[in-house]
Structure 1
Amino acid sequence: MKTPILIAAIFFSGLTFAQEKKQDTVKTKTIEGVTMTKQVFKKQSDRFVYDVAASPVTKGNTTFDLLKQTPLLSTTDDKTLKIVGKNNAVIYINGRKTNMDAESLTQFLKNTPAENIQKIEVITVPGSEFQVESSDGIINIILKKKMSDGTSGNMRMSNTQNKYNSSQASFSVNYRKDKLGINANLSGGENINPQSYILRNKTGNVQNESIGDIDDPNKNIGGYLNIDYQLTEKSNLALSWNSWANKSYNSTINLLNTITRYDDNGNLVSTDYTKTKNKEDARNYNNSVNLNYELKLDSLGSKLNLNAAYLNYKRFQYSDNNTMIKDAAGDFTKNSKKIIQDIPQIINNFSGTVDYIQKFKNDFTFSAGGNFNKTKTDNDTKNYTYPYDISGNQLPSDNDFNHFIYDENIYGLYVTFEKKFSDKFSGKVGTRYEITNSLGTADSWKNNVESNQKIERNYNNILPYVSFNYAINDKNNLSYSFSSRMRRPSFWELNPVKNIITEDNYTQNNPFVKASSTYNQELTYMYKNSYFLILNHTYVKDQITQVPLQRSYIDPKTNQERIQLAYIRTNFGDKQEMSAMVGIQKTFFKQYLTTNFNVGVQHNTNDGFLNTDPTTGQVFDDYINKRKSTSLVIQTNNTLRLDKKKTWFLGANFFYVDKQQIELGVLKNLMSLDLSLKKNWNDWTFAVNVNDVLRTNIVEIEDLQDNGNYNYIRNDQYRRNLTVSITYNFGNQKVKKVRDIESASDAIKNRTR
């Protein structure tokens, strides 16, 4: 169900899972009696480079499997990849951001053979030339270039069992002939996302508790088509099209709500029960097209790159929310309140980017470029509230309509200078200048009373960047980076819609949310490409998050005291995150065992206050989060090769995150043990994965305010699951891949999710 009670990503946005790995493995080559060694993992300028072609773990793996074993990278849900200290990892291929949404990108990575990859670059602090937001990091996948013409592809099928069963399938094909390259993919599947909730809150002498389940059925289908044509020896033209559709019908929420009242001495006064039965039908479509032109200017790597793109996103959501009370027989059959919501959203975006890179023979590189994004979102929300009298008779509806249109124009310019002063020392400086002009127009009708509101914002930002890398000697390396970024609110966050969960529990988005600023600095020390120390500090100003507000009120129907709990999307003060972690990544026993172990501490400092819903003006009790926490983080990833022929592999991963203070309260400790077994047989790969074996990856958040207000959330997403997959690779596996092109609308597409 897309209705966000407490989206899991919110819980983890402040977490650092110590997702670091380092690799010291070397590949040995003998040329005419001279033995040479090649480093598999090393630090270069502003990035870490993992030479996959020299790694023993490549054969038989998919790209996603390989990324999970890459130094500095990890995953906790087998869907998303994270970089040390980063909220999000943006995937690039051959220096260009992938033009795919999150789900199709995951399928692409899980169905692309790792043998096609030359190296993987991990950029923890991206430079000014990259269009990323907040503290995002970059994973740049470099594909092999010396490949012959022909056709190749793969088919993959998988089945997953947790509370329910789900299945997925995909088909990919690559074709290259002379100057023409075509790359296409089609994938789909169906699943039911289950969740169990306990929501408990208390203010004064009243306590409210909601317990129950959410089941969200999904059917997905999508694909992409990339066509690349070499116009001349120095120029290429490429067309990319990407499409994804999701249908989520009959999503249900079933909660038992209990209101308990006490007197001032703590004695029970009364208990009321209601049931929430919600049903939602939703579907969304994401289509984008991108045209790219690239011109190589010289043999040193200088080039000009032009992009033009169009993105269309549509989401239609219809929900029927019912509050039920007991009848004379004690069954929940009588309606107390019905709320029908019709929440559509349409986004159109036109984008363009220009990048110019000039390389000089003295190891100096100059880069400059710009981007333009024009976006329009149309949100026409309709709410129909039907109250019922004590006898169960439906009363006239209370209508609340809101038509919110949001127009946004973004202009960006950047310039960077990069210089390699010697074999030991290199540096890079740059800055990015962005101008944002936006206008939000809200036309509201509540009980036939019309109101109009305009929200206009014009601001500009200068975002500096600097990094230095110093190779002290062959065994010691020291690097430092600083960057300034901003995070614009997602379009769904700006849409002033209220998502109803129960009669007294809802989420409220906010058109007044403004962009937040992030300042990130990182110091890294590496020894022998195996041992590492990473110190990181991130400061977020006007952070965008979800804040729980509650208040007591008197129900006019029963004249009884009740509690209202609202999760308000807003800017909530400032936040600092500091982390220090040490670790080791090595291979043992002639590359039979590859292991990574890291341990660290993370210190969070929160400084936020809120007591009013910025959208409605409703006043709640004060919510204050001026708390600090220091947490222990442990993670280890291990791959064991079981035979000499490199056909059997056993994997064991484990992470532990100590309790820590986040925006919503204290997030209790989390841990997970994941096991996998893989068999390579000719062109076939068979795999079995068991995630969260001990069933310990369950979110619990607890908050107690100084005024006595209490809030508790327990969210079980049934992360323990068994997945069986079969992959078949066919054709010429050395076919050269089509250039993967960054769409000019990628930065906008990320904000639709």
Structure 2
Amino acid sequence: MKTQIFIAALFLSGFTFAQEKKSDSVKTQKIEEVILKKQVFKKQSDRFVYDVAASPVTKGNTTFDLLRQTPLLSTTDDKTLKIVGKNNALIYINGRKTNMDAESVTQFLKNTPAENIQKIEVITVPGSEFQVESSDGIINIILKKKMSDGTSGNMRMSNTQNKYNSSSASFTANYRKDKLGISANLSGGENIQAQSYILRNGTNLVKNESTGDIDDPNKNLGGYLNFDYQLNDKSNLALSWNTWANKSYGSTVELLNNLNIYNKDGSLSKTDLTRSSNIENARNYNNSVNLNYELKTDSLGSKLNLNAAYLIYKRFQNSQNRTLVHDTSGSFTQLRQNVIQDLPQIVNNFSSTVDYIKKFKNDFTASVGGNFNTTKTDNDTKNFFNYYDENGKFNNTKPDLNHFIYDEQIYGAYITLEKKFSDKFSGKVGTRYEITRSLGTSEIPNKEMQEFERNYNNLLPYVSLNYTINDKNNISYAFSSRMRRPSFWELNPVKNILTQDNYTQNNPFVKASSTYNQELTYMFKNSYFLILNHSYFKDVITQVPLQRDIVRDGITYRQLAYIRTNFGDKQEMSAMLGMNKTFFNQYLTTNFNIGVQHNINNGTLNTDPTSGQVFDTYINNRKSTSILIQTNNTIRLDKKKTWFLGVNYFFVDKQQIELGMLKNLSSLDVSLKKNWNDWTFALNLSDVLRTNIVEIEDYQADGSYNYVRNDQFRRGGTFSITYNFGNQKVKKVRNIEGASDDIKSRTR
């Protein structure tokens, strides 16, 4: 609940220079032969290709380290990978989403040797065959194929120190014998996610300020088990199981709230000092199983791929939110309000997909496919608001009960046609048609049951063109349209309490939003590139900060509610110059990006759609222009290629987002790595200058204001030890896309 309050509101609202990653699963594709001439970075029709086999930074790295050095990619927290200019980056392996949750895929990438990678593809505008939402981009990892039978694996241990100390460990094993391949992973860890907040809102007559800390302890355990069996030369059968569990007991929020009320002449009339003391226990479980069948239908690479999957996600959360005032001794022990919350969520999903790729001899490829998802979520929310008089004695209880059930069916079909007309010109066109049928029911005691029906029919076209002018110059254009469905937790009409007058409200009335992306790319000498991008978002899904005056016991308070809803439209336009080069006989490898982005926001709201309560009108029709600078550098310190120094830096200028003006962000990260036989020792220092702190401020024409400062203590150090054992040339088990992957992402 705590992290969700403001951070999700910020980064899910369209902050395109800082995104989150998701995860999911895979099908094999025929690996192309290594190109002998060293074109490390090049542009193909619909993607950028980083030829890892020709790169000097591969040896001794993990796949995660390698991705950090890939052009257009970066990480600011050593957990999530980002594509410049995209809201989200999805991890694919051999053309299919990884069938793992976010934590597991991070461990997978950190424990897979980079020597096993053939190339990395960055798809900034995915085609119709990809099941992605909004303006998501794709990182597609192509594994090497010439590997032998045997056993391999690795063990990794790491320890991190920022505000608190945390540790993690993982074990991964791969086995292949003839037609059978098995891979398994077990990983876990403990950490305390710490945050501090400064929250201010109000008008010139009523001003609130809340300051304090959040400590969220977590214990994680999970992994995967994959079986892949080659039935014959043309067909494979695979079974995958993924699991992840999180336990977060004893999470605390301690905020000191200061309310100042002023007279019209500016003099102070009254001060009200309270403390919000929250404690929360939560645990969640995510289990999925996927069955995959693949059939090669000819020698050209045509194939049929079938998937069926079942996913169950359970989250159980209860919390106690106490508002305390001074007792006679001056201590914060006297109750004013005590809110008891029980917020469970259960998601069940069955999914299936079918894909057929037909390749022809004249460099023409046709792909057709479809998918079906049926999902049911069950949220039986129980809130009890307990109120106390001025002496701290119990006064009354107000229950707030809501049993919300959501049923959804999604039917999808696509077709793409790709043609290489000549050595210089190629093109790809496609479309995806999606039908969504959904029904939410809300049962509240002593009230008539409410129904929320949402039906969509969406035709989503796609086109890309690529022209190679000569050996040094290449130009390409791509257009795509996508939709973003709300996450299941966004639809659950639950209220999360932070302070007595500060809360978030989810919304079953939220509808899907639409996104239209255009991108023009120019590349010179396979090292320098220019990307021009335009994205139009319709019915943006975000949290909107609404304020109003309320009177309680004769005192005027200022209430602040973050309402989840559709909030108008916005446009994002960007221009990005980039470079990928090696210098000094490959002792220095550098990626450098500099760009400018222009945001146009257009949204207005004054009513909570879940309750009809009227607030002061919040208007965001502002524009902003901001600069991005990003550089990732790897320095080889010795001739034997055993010592490496990494220096990464990013800077994002202030920009207007839905919640207000986001102030500039930056981070300097430094790493030192030593390879010794099968061992790797690494030290990573993040946010060395302690500049990666979120600040948002907003001022309305009516005089109301809102300010958020959130420090997640990103400055810290991580020391890790990795040991690789066995035959490192073992062929990896095919990573299979789970049919439920797009559903799984909406549970988070």
Give the shorter-chain TM-score range: over 0.9
Name the residue aligned to 2:645: 650
Name the residue aligned to 1:626: 621
Root mean square deviation of aligned Cα: 1.2
Quick one: which amino acid aligns to residue 481 of structure 2? S
> How big is the shift at 1:531?
1.1
Work out the CA distance in 2 between the residues paired with 1:112 and 1:8: 30
Name the residue aligned to 1:672: 667
Quick one: which amino acid aligns to residue 691 of structure 2? T
Name the residue aligned to 1:510: 507
> How big is the shift at 1:284?
0.1
> How big is the shift at 1:592?
0.2
For residues 504-557 of structure 1, what are the alpha-carbon distances to aligned partners after superposition, in whole Å with 9 as ceiling and x for unaligned?
Answer: 0000000000000000000000100111111000000001001000001111xx
Work out the CA distance in 2 between the residues paired with 1:11 and 1:237: 39
Aligned match of 2:546 in 549, 552, 573?
Answer: 549
Name the residue aligned to 1:595: 590
For residues 412-442 of structure 1, what are the alpha-carbon distances to aligned partners after superposition, in whole Å with 9 as ceiling and x for unaligned?
Answer: 0000000000111000000000000000000
Name the residue aligned to 1:501: 498
Please state if 1:540 is matched with 2:532: no
Name the residue aligned to 1:129: 129
> How big is the shift at 1:38?
2.9
Work out the CA distance in 2 between the residues paired with 1:626 and 1:707: 15
Cα contact 1:151–1:175 (8 A) shared by 2: yes
> How big is the shift at 1:8?
5.0
Name the residue aligned to 1:735: 730
Cα contact 1:4–1:507 (8 A) shared by 2: no
For residues 472-491 of structure 1, what are the alpha-carbon distances to aligned partners after superposition, in whole Å with 9 as ceiling and x for unaligned?
Answer: 00000000000000000000
Work out the CA distance in 1 between the residues paired with 2:46 and 2:576: 20
Name the residue aligned to 1:27: none
For residues 28-48 of structure 1, what are the alpha-carbon distances to aligned partners after superposition, in whole Å with 9 as ceiling and x for unaligned?
Answer: xxxxxxx96231211111111
Please state if 1:174 is matched with 2:178: no
Instruction: Map residues 44-443 of structure 1 onto 2, 5 A cutoff.
Output: 44-443=44-443
Q: 1:237 to 1:11 in 2, by over 3 A?
A: closer
Name the residue aligned to 2:29: none
For residues 258-299 of structure 1, what are the alpha-carbon distances to aligned partners after superposition, in whole Å with 9 as ceiling and x for unaligned?
Answer: 000111121111111000000000000000000000000111
Quick one: which amino acid aligns to residue 489 of structure 2? W
For residues 605-627 of structure 1, what are the alpha-carbon distances to aligned partners after superposition, in whole Å with 9 as ceiling and x for unaligned?
Answer: 00000000111111100000000
Percent of aligned positions with the same letter in both sequences?
Answer: 79
For residues 30-75 of structure 1, what are the alpha-carbon distances to aligned partners after superposition, in whole Å with 9 as ceiling and x for unaligned?
Answer: xxxxx96231211111111111112111111111100111112111
Work out the CA distance in 1 between the residues paired with 2:403 and 2:663: 40
Q: TM-score, normalised by structure 1?
A: 0.96
Instruction: Map residues 605-624 of structure 1 onto 2, 5 A cutoff.
Output: 605-624=600-619
Q: 1:702 to 1:380 in 2, by over 3 A?
A: same
Secondary structure of 1:748's counterpart equals: helix
Secondary structure of 1:396's counterpart equals: strand
Quick one: which amino acid aligns to residue 552 of structure 1? D
> How big is the shift at 1:95?
1.1
For residues 173-198 of structure 1, what are the alpha-carbon distances to aligned partners after superposition, in whole Å with 9 as ceiling and x for unaligned?
Answer: 00000000000000000000000000
Cα contact 1:88–1:135 (8 A) shared by 2: yes
| Greater alpha carbon shift after TM alignment, 275-284 vs 77-86 | 77-86
> How big is the shift at 1:201?
0.2
Secondary structure of 1:553's counterpart equals: strand
Name the residue aligned to 2:473: 476
> How big is the shift at 1:204?
4.7
Secondary structure of 1:450's counterpart equals: coil
Work out the CA distance in 2 between the residues paired with 1:247 and 1:345: 15
Work out the CA distance in 2 between the residues paired with 1:45 and 1:9: 35
Quick one: which amino acid aligns to residue 671 of structure 1? S
> How big is the shift at 1:17?
3.5
Quick one: which amino acid aligns to residue 84 of structure 2? V
Secondary structure of 2:570's counterpart equals: strand
Cα contact 2:11–2:18 (8 A) shared by 1: no
> How big is the shift at 1:328?
1.0
Name the residue aligned to 1:40: 40
Secondary structure of 1:5's counterpart equals: helix
Cα contact 1:690–1:721 (8 A) shared by 2: yes
> How big is the shift at 1:13?
4.8
Work out the CA distance in 1 between the residues paired with 2:11 and 2:418: 37
Please state if 1:698 is matched with 2:693: yes
> How big is the shift at 1:583?
2.3
Cα contact 2:188–2:219 (8 A) shared by 1: yes
> How big is the shift at 1:16?
3.8
> How big is the shift at 1:457?
1.5
For residues 333-380 of structure 1, what are the alpha-carbon distances to aligned partners after superposition, in whole Å with 9 as ceiling and x for unaligned?
Answer: 101010000000000000000000000000000000000000000000
Please state if 1:524 is matched with 2:521: yes
Secondary structure of 1:125's counterpart equals: coil
Work out the CA distance in 2 between the residues paired with 1:459 and 1:18: 30
Work out the CA distance in 2 between the residues paired with 1:436 and 1:666: 35
Q: Gaps spanning 5+ residues in structure 1: where?
A: 20-34
Q: 1:12 to 1:313 in 2, by over 3 A?
A: closer
Q: 1:722 to 1:340 in 2, by over 3 A?
A: same
Work out the CA distance in 1 between the residues paired with 2:621 and 2:2: 31
Name the residue aligned to 1:715: 710
Give the number of equivalent residue pairs. 733
Cα contact 1:672–1:697 (8 A) shared by 2: yes
Name the residue aligned to 2:655: 660
Work out the CA distance in 1 between the residues paired with 2:287 and 2:79: 21
Cα contact 1:336–1:389 (8 A) shared by 2: yes
Work out the CA distance in 2 between the residues paired with 1:54 and 1:671: 31
Cα contact 1:18–1:600 (8 A) shared by 2: no
> How big is the shift at 1:664?
0.3
Q: Gaps spanning 5+ residues in structure 2: where?
A: 20-34
Cα contact 1:17–1:635 (8 A) shared by 2: no
Secondary structure of 1:38's counterpart equals: coil
Name the residue aligned to 1:485: 482
> How big is the shift at 1:2?
4.5
Work out the CA distance in 2 between the residues paired with 1:710 and 1:344: 34
Cα contact 1:325–1:334 (8 A) shared by 2: yes
Secondary structure of 2:343's counterpart equals: strand
Quick one: which amino acid aligns to residue 718 of structure 2? T
Work out the CA distance in 2 between the residues paired with 1:573 and 1:420: 40
Cα contact 1:660–1:667 (8 A) shared by 2: yes
Work out the CA distance in 1 between the residues paired with 2:88 and 2:578: 21
> How big is the shift at 1:11?
3.7
Work out the CA distance in 2 between the residues paired with 1:58 and 1:10: 35
Secondary structure of 1:39's counterpart equals: coil
> How big is the shift at 1:3?
5.3
Quick one: which amino acid aligns to residue 295 of structure 2? L
Quick one: which amino acid aligns to residue 394 of structure 1? F
Work out the CA distance in 1 between the residues paired with 2:403 and 2:11: 30
| Greater alpha carbon shift after TM alignment, 426-435 vs 138-147 | 138-147
Aligned match of 1:457 in 439, 454, 458?
Answer: 454
Quick one: which amino acid aligns to residue 208 of structure 2? N
Cα contact 1:86–1:137 (8 A) shared by 2: yes
For residues 583-642 of structure 1, what are the alpha-carbon distances to aligned partners after superposition, in whole Å with 9 as ceiling and x for unaligned?
Answer: 222100000001122211100000000000111111100000000000011111111000
Please state if 1:559 is matched with 2:554: yes
Q: 1:152 to 1:574 in 2, by over 3 A?
A: same
> How big is the shift at 1:12?
6.8
Work out the CA distance in 1 between the residues paired with 2:36 and 2:537: 46
